[in-house]
Structure 1
Amino acid sequence: MNSRWPKIMLMSGLTSAWLLYDIATATETPRQAVAILQYALLACALIGLVGSIVMAAAEK
């Protein structure tokens, strides 16, 4: 597989895992703007992960 999709899968997966860990282990409630930003970034990372998996599967 000589495309960019595995790299995007790796980056999106790591970003999703890091954000999930950060949200789950928060010791205090973040401000509303920060929480919205974290959830928006998590949503984008998960969409990127799913999209890259689909695109990589479509190339095979």
Structure 2
Amino acid sequence: EACRDAQIMPPTFQIVSDRRGGRTAWSSQVTIRGQTLAARYWYDGKNLNNAKEDAAECALNWLSRAAW
């Protein structure tokens, strides 16, 4: 919604993983207006949607601070 309102292209998300001991941690990155922003936290696989939402929140915060 925010992208449509601002008349910019929608973001693209990428899921990333990191092997930690016997488990895998998951996070997300989002690219918007040429800027790639990472989620703040790493998540268990069953909470992967939280990683995407975290990255989206980081992007929204960045957009609200960015000079247009």
Which category describes the TM-score, using the shorter chain as reference length? 0.3 to 0.5
Taking structure 1 as the reference length, what is the TM-score of the superposition?
0.37
* More RCO (CA 8 Å, sep 6+): 1
Larger of the two Rg values belongs to structure: 1
Structure with greater strand share of residues: 2
Taking structure 2 as the reference length, what is the TM-score of the superposition?
0.34
Structure with greater helix share of residues: 1
